[in-house]
Structure 1
C-alpha cells in the first residue's frame, strides 16, 4: 500500500498544466521546489519538442559565493518562466555571434531541458542524455547555437539536458588556506547539476536510472573526471567521451597551482611579493575585484586541481588503483586532425604563410615546448619520422605540411590522452567496463567554425552531424552529411538505451583481450571509422594510432 509520501511524489509527477500562447503551447511542470514553465513547439519537419531554458540549479555564485562551491537553489513561490536562453558564465567568447544569449556574467548556473514528451508515466520514462560543453574550461556556454539539443532529443527520442558551469578563474580558483575554496568549482557546479537532474528529471519524462553523460573537448575532460570522482561517479550510468580526457595536461597539483596563481594575483593587485599562500585577505580582495581581472587566472593552462576530494589523486594513479566508476559502458571518439585549430587560432601567420618541410617540423617542436614546458625528453627524430616520413626535401606542399603539424600536435594533446584513458580504464576492470570506439574522418560541405581549408577533419566537426544540424539547416548541407548525421544519431540512440552502439549487418566490436603468450594478455581496440564514403566492412578497423600513443608520445604521459 502506498504511503502518503509516495502518493505525494506521484501527484507531483502527474500534475501538469498546459496553456496556449502565441508562440506555441505553454507547458508547466510542478517539481518539489516549485513550478517551471516551458514551451512546446514544432521543428521544421513537424516533430514537436518541449524545452525548458534557464532552469536555476544553484544559487547565483556572486559576492561571498564567487569562489565557493555551489549552494542548492531554495524553493520558489512564483513559476519560473524557462522560456529564454540563460546567461553564459563570464568569459571572452571567440564566436560571440554564435550565442543566442550574449550576456556573460557570474549569475549563470542554469540548465536546459528538451523533452519529446513530458506527458509520460513512470513505466515509459525516456533515457536521459546530458551534454557538457567544451572550451578549455575558460569559455563556452549552453546558449551557443550549436548546442541547441532539440533535434537530438527528437531523433534519439530521449530527454536531453545541457548545463552551464563556472569557467576560468571563477570556476577554478584554489586557496591553500581556506577549506571552502579548494578549486574545481566548475566541476562541483556540474556535480550539483547532475544531482538536480537525478532528483527531478522524471517530472520532465526522463528516467533517472538511465542517464548518459556526454562531453566534447574540455567537456570530455569533465566527463572523464566524473568517471573518476568518488563524488559524482554514481550520478550517471554510461558515458560518451568526444576528443578529450583529463589524464594529461588538464590537471595540476595544489602546490604548483598556488604559485602560478599568486604570480597572476600579484599583477591583479590582490597580493604582494611577501605573500606565499592564498590567504583570507587575498580571497576577500578577489571577491570584490572586477570580473575581467578574475578571468586573468585562465592563463594557468591546467585549471583542474588534485584537491583530495573531488579528485583525490592524479587520474593515471586512480585508474591504476581501480579508484573509478565500475560496471558501465563507454563510447569514445576522436577526429582525424585534433590540433590544427590551435595553430589557426594562436598563430595567424601559420595559416597565411607558405611552410617548408623544415618550417613545419620546427613549428611543431616549438609548440610542444610552449604548451608542455615541463615535459620529459622524448625521441624527437622518431616522432618526426612517423608524421613526416612520406615527404622528402624535394616535396613541396605547404598545406599538407600544416595538416601534419596539426595532426601530430592534436595526437599529443587530445587524441592519445582520450584513447589511453579508455584503454587503461578497460584494462583496470575489463569484466565490468565495456568500451566502444569510433573515429570521425569525414570532411564535407562548408568549413565549420574551427576548421581551415588545409586541415584534416577538425576538432568539433563531428558535433554538427551529432546534433542533427544537416536536418535543421538542410540547404547548407549535402545529402551525404545527412546520412552521416542519421547514422551517428542512430548509434547514440542505441547506446543510451542498451550500452551498445547499434549497427546493422556488420558487428561493432568492443575492446577485448587476447593472449600475447602463456602469461601476458594484450588489449585489442576495435573502432568504426566514419568518412566521406559509405560504410563497408573496411570501415571496421583495429588499434587506432597505437604506435603514436603508446610509443611516440608515451614519455609525456608517465
Structure 2
C-alpha cells in the first residue's frame, strides 16, 4: 500500500499555473444511498440507484454500497459466533467508514456525509443514526419511506427454530449430503454445518421455499432482540427508545429529513393478502372480507386490541353482524391506509419525534404526485390510483430516475424531480431544508 497521504480537497478551485485535477478542486458533499428491498432483494445495479443523475443535478458525490441480504446478511445463530446477526448493517458501516476515509480522493469533504435510505434502507439509516457506533461517520440523514420503529416487520425470529428450518430447506438436496437433526436441543452443529457446506447461491435460492418463521423476512435485530454485539446500544427494555434521561443531546449537531408518500399502504397490501385487488375483493363474500381485515389487524396487534385499533380504520366492518360495506374500493382504501400508518407513517413520526427530542434539526415531508403522466402508454397500470403517490414514489423523484426516461423537456415530472434533487443537494451541503 502506498505511503502517500490521502489528498485533501480545497474549498475553492485552484488558480495560477498549478494544475490540479478537477476532482480535487471542490469540496463536494457526499450522499451515501442505502437501497431498499426488504433486506431480501436489491442492489446498486437497480436503475433507481444510478447515482449519475443525483450527482449531476445536485452537484454531490454519490455512493451506493451493496450489503449482504437475507440469511447471509441477517441470520442469527443464537449464542454461536457463526452467524451473529446484523451482518448487513456491519457491511453498511464499513462502507461509511471507507467513504469518510477516502472522501478527498473524490473531491469531497469527509465531514459532509449524508446517509440516505429508501424503504428498508431507511430502516437501516435510522438504526445507524441511533447507534453511537455509526452516527459519528455522517452528519445528516434522509429517511424515505421507512423507519426503525416499523412494527413487527423485522422483529425477532425464533432463532434456533429459524436456523433449523432454513437448514432443513437448504439441505434438502441429496447432493449436499448433510443431515440436519431437527430435534437437536439445544441446536447443535448440524444445521450450521449444513449451511456452511451449501453454496451461497443454493441458500439464496432456498428462500423461495423458506421466508423466515411465520413468514417474517430476515432483517435487523435490535431493541429487546439485540444480540451481544455492540452495534445498537441505545435500546432499553422492549423498545429502541433510549432512557429518558439520556435522550437530550443524543443527536446534537445532526440534521434529519424524513418523510413518505401519501399512499404508502397500497404497495404493501398484496404482500399481506394474495391477489388483493379491486376485482377480487368485489367478488368475495362480505364475511370473508371482514375476516381478511381482521387478519390484517391481528398481524400487528393482539386480539384484545382488535376493536380499539381496527375501529378508526374499518368502523363496523369488523363487527360480526356487519352486513355490507360501501364498495370493494372502500375496503381496499381502508386496508391500505391501515398498512401505510402501521408500516411507514407512524414509525416515521416516532423517529422524527425522538430525533427532535435528542437535539437534531428535523424536517418532515409527505409526498403526493399524480403518476399518470409517467405511464408508458394508455394501457399501463399506474399504482397509487386509489389515494395518490405510493411507496417509493418520493425516492423515484429524489434520485432522478426520470432523467433516464425519454420525457419531454417541458415534463412536469422531470421538473419536479430536478427541483427535489436540488433541495436534497442543498440539504446535503448545509443541513437545512427548504421544503
TM-score by length of 1: 0.62
SS in structure 2 of the partner of residue 485 of structure 1: helix
The aligned counterpart of 1:304 is 220
Structure 2 distance, partners of 1:292, 1:352, is 37
How far apart are residue 145 of structure 1 and its match? Answer: 1.2
1:234–1:325 CA contact under 8 A, matched in 2? no
Pairs within 5 Å for 1:170-185: 170-179=72-81, 181-185=83-87
Which of the two has greater strand per residue?
1
**Bigger Cα displacement from structure 2, 156-165 vs 239-248:** 239-248
2:262–2:387 CA contact under 8 A, matched in 1? no
After superposition, the C-alpha distances for 1:370-397 in whole angstroms (9 at most, x for unaligned) are x43x64732525633445699x988744
Is 2:365 the counterpart of 1:438? Answer: yes
Structure 2 distance, partners of 1:474, 1:135, is 26
2:400–2:421 CA contact under 8 A, matched in 1? yes
Q: 1:274 aligns with which of 173, 183, 186?
A: 183
1:221–1:250 CA contact under 8 A, matched in 2? no
Pairs within 5 Å for 1:321-360: 322=246, 325-345=251-271, 347-355=274-282
How far apart are residue 218 of structure 1 and its match? Answer: 0.5
1:403–1:456 CA contact under 8 A, matched in 2? no
Structure 2 distance, partners of 1:358, 1:443, is 34
Structure 2 distance, partners of 1:405, 1:476, is 36
Structure 1 distance, partners of 2:277, 2:409, is 29
Pairs within 5 Å for 1:159-198: 159-179=61-81, 181-198=83-100
Unaligned 5+ segments in structure 2 are: 11-19, 172-178
The aligned counterpart of 1:462 is 394
CA gap 1:413/1:13 in 2 versus in 1, 3 angstroms = closer
Pairs within 5 Å for 1:101-500: 119-121=22-24, 124-179=26-81, 181-247=83-149, 248-253=151-156, 256-269=158-171, 271-290=180-199, 291-294=201-204, 295-296=206-207, 298-300=211-213, 301=216, 303-305=219-221, 306-308=226-228, 309-312=230-233, 313=235, 315-318=239-242, 320=244, 322=246, 325-345=251-271, 347-355=274-282, 361-369=290-298, 371-372=299-300, 375=302, 377-378=304-305, 380=307, 383-386=310-313, 396-427=326-357, 429=358, 432-444=359-371, 445-446=373-374, 451=383, 453-454=385-386, 456-475=388-407, 479-500=411-432
- Determine which structure has greater relative contact order: mean sequence separation of CA pairs < 8 Å that are 6+ residues apart, divided by chain length: 2
CA gap 1:399/1:148 in 2 versus in 1, 3 angstroms = same
Which of the two has greater helix per residue?
2
CA gap 1:480/1:12 in 2 versus in 1, 3 angstroms = closer
How far apart are residue 199 of structure 1 and its match? Answer: 1.1
CA gap 1:180/1:443 in 2 versus in 1, 3 angstroms = same
After superposition, the C-alpha distances for 1:136-182 in whole angstroms (9 at most, x for unaligned) are 10111110111111111111100011011111111111122433531
Structure 2 distance, partners of 1:120, 1:467, is 22
CA gap 1:495/1:299 in 2 versus in 1, 3 angstroms = same
- For the aligned residue pairs, the C-alpha RMSD in angstroms reads 3.3
Structure 2 distance, partners of 1:129, 1:198, is 11
Unaligned 5+ segments in structure 1 are: 15-116, 504-558
1:450–1:460 CA contact under 8 A, matched in 2? no
SS in structure 1 of the partner of residue 343 of structure 2: helix
TM-score by length of 2: 0.78
Structure 1 distance, partners of 2:110, 2:302, is 42
Structure 2 distance, partners of 1:449, 1:478, is 23
2:141–2:257 CA contact under 8 A, matched in 1? yes
